[in-house]
Structure 1
Amino acid sequence: MIAIQSRDNPLVKRIHALSTSGRERRKTGLTVLDGAHLMAAALDAGIVFTQIVVSDTGLAREEHQALIARVGAQCPVACLPDPLFAHVSAVESPSGLLALMAMPALDVLPAMVNGSLIVLDAVQDAGNLGTLLRTASAAGIRLALLTEGCAQAWSPRVLRAGMGAHFQMQVLEHVDVETALAGYTGRIAATVLSADSQSLFALDLAGPTAWLFGAEGQGLSDSLKNLATTHVHIPMPGRLESLNVAAAAAICLFEQVRQNG
């Protein structure tokens, strides 16, 4: 383990850049995992780290010591003073432990898209995107297709909100959804209000469904609305007009879980 004290250290500069710049992550193919839970989920999925960084305070935690010991000699470990760790961390409340990892291929579609999945259209809020992936994973979804305009799926903030979902499902970015779903044999459901929109709770959700969820405030693009074979709405007896996209997705996905028992 090496101790680093200066912001001018090349490793400190590198991690700070990866934490704050999507361009740097795309350029290097690396991203930052912040927190013991997320790192443990990655290790459980067979992810290999290229670097571990721990703060002085974080090093005193048994959970962190166990994770560092679990990695063993797999990658180098650096220790930073707490203020310097906060400087390189991408989150507002640094955990005291982070790791660098290579991002997987982000745009390689499976030969055939089948089973239930989610399509996220220009969801720009990192917290919402991570929560959507976490919710989908919890509901048994194993594939997420993201269109242009979504937040970067493997950014530190999305990873933190996803709480390990990324390692339980395939997350593909910059997807041409019309091409991806060209041979899809299941239902394609869009949560939109229209003349033919059906109540979610009256819909038979047996069988695979591709769920389409749109951006905050704007909803789905017209091209994706037209791709849907089923329009769905969530009955809302209250006076609000809409739900947060992550909340709407949770209701839809777990109604399908409920129906399929």
Structure 2
Amino acid sequence: MTTGPVWHPISARDNPQLQRLRKLAQDATAYRKMGGVWLEGDHLARAALQRGLRPALALITDVAAADESLRALADQASKVLVVSPALFKTVSGLESPAQIGFDLQLPPPLRIEPQADSVVLDRLQDAGNVGTILRSAAALGFRQVLALKGTAALWSPKVLRAGMGAHFGLRLVEGLSVSDLDGLKVPLLATSSHTDALLHEAELPSPCAWVMGHEGQGVDEALMARCALRIGIPQPGGEESLNVASAASICLYESARRRLTRQG
């Protein structure tokens, strides 16, 4: 007969376990030193569990603990801390905090998978853009995301929230230099206003790696020089450029559509 975790009521703001969670929740890069990530809210918690991941610890409010489904969610952790909503708010980095969160062990570092359909993030600064691209990559079959140095921290709370659970279905490698991409053995494709071809006309290789550049500066020159194709996205509405997350979604969709057409 199996038993659930022990539930520990916590009332002290300076409790060491709460201090750890506070750091993970409010410092974008704390996970790199602390080896864990903060998943706030039942959606991220369920997404991790659905991928077979089990948290070391759950934090739940006494109010949420009265909800049977949230209580069952917390019971998936090895240990559960119960706090008041006011104390939970001191941990959360959100203006309107959730009522439950997980401390999940950070996945071990991964190496580049040479032949994988990939997305390369070149110094993207906005956490919302990065998380949105991760969602698109997961949805459209690009299972590897490679982040160059200067890109928003992939496991930061903001990117995790924007990714909506996509992290757990992706192979994520960050902190890379341009030369590290030598380990990638598929063609690099980049969007550019100086195009070799337009997206709907270009011969798109498969597998491939789409390169998405800095929101203001675009793709680094040295990285662009490595790209097999520079591809333009038609914009009949006349706008000068697209948001990088929107551009990524369009490009990944077109690659996925071509792949499915070939398979069919």
TM (norm. structure 2) is: 0.90
Which ranges of structure 2 fall in alignment gaps of 5 or more residues? 1-6
Which whole-Å CA distance do the structure 1 matches of 2:181 and 2:111 have between them? 7
Which letter maps to 1:8? D
Shift of 1:158: 0.9
2:242 aligns with 243
CA shift for structure 1 position 13: 1.7
Q: Is the 8 A contact 1:127 1:161 kept in 2?
A: yes
Are 1:217 and 2:216 counterparts?
A: yes
Distance 1:32 1:113, change over 3 A: same
Matched residue type, 1:187: P
TM-score if structure 1 supplies the norm length? 0.91
Equivalent in the alignment of 2:17:
11
Task: Describe the shift of the 1:80–1:217 C-alpha distance in structure 2 as closer, same or farther (beyond 3 A).
Answer: same
Pick the aligned partner of 1:90 from 83, 93, 98. 93
Partner of 1:58: 64
CA contact (8 A) 2:187 2:205 kept: no
Match of 1:188 in 2: 188
Superimposed CA distance per residue, residues 157-197 of structure 1 (whole angstroms, 9 cap, x where no aligned partner): 1111111111111100012343334561x331011111x43
* Matched letter for residue 52 of structure 1: A
More off after superposition, 94-103 vs 1-10: 1-10
Corresponding residue for 2:74?
A: 68
In the aligned structure 2, how far is the partner of 1:173 from the partner of 1:150? 8
User: In the aligned structure 2, how far is the partner of 1:54 from the partner of 1:48?
Assistant: 16
Pick from 12, 30, 40 the counterpart of residue 24 of structure 1. Answer: 30
Over the matched positions of the two proteins, sequence identity in percent amounts to 38
1:205-258: per-residue Cα shift (whole Å, max 9, x none)?
252111000111121111111110100111111232111111100000001122
User: In 2, are the aligned partners of 1:178 and 1:227 still within 8 Å (CA)?
Assistant: no
- Deviation digits for residues 100-159 of structure 1 (CA, Å, limit 9, x no counterpart): 0111133x314x511311000111211111111111000011111000001111111111
Q: Which amino acid aligns with 1:27?
A: K
Change in CA separation of 1:220 and 1:40 when aligned onto 2, cut-off 3 Å: same
* CA–CA distance in structure 1, aligned partners of residues 18 and 116 of structure 2: 43
Cα RMSD after superposing both structures: 1.7
Q: Is the 8 A contact 1:113 1:180 kept in 2?
A: no
How many aligned residue pairs are there? Answer: 254
3-state DSSP of counterpart to 1:227: coil
- Judging changes above 3 Å, is the alpha-carbon distance between structure 1 residues 14 and 179 closer, same or farther for their aligned structure 2 residues? closer
Q: Distance in 2 between matches of 1:103 and 1:149?
A: 20
Distance 2:184 2:166 in 1: 26
* Letter of the 2:11 counterpart: Q
Runs of 4+ in structure 1 over 4 Å off: none
Q: Which amino acid aligns with 1:119?
A: V
CA contact (8 A) 1:119 1:211 kept: yes
Contact 1:18 1:32 in 2 (8 A): yes
In structure 2, the residue matched to 1:44 is: 50
Instruction: Show structure 1 runs of 5+ residues with no match.
Output: none
Q: Distance in 2 between matches of 1:100 and 1:246?
A: 28
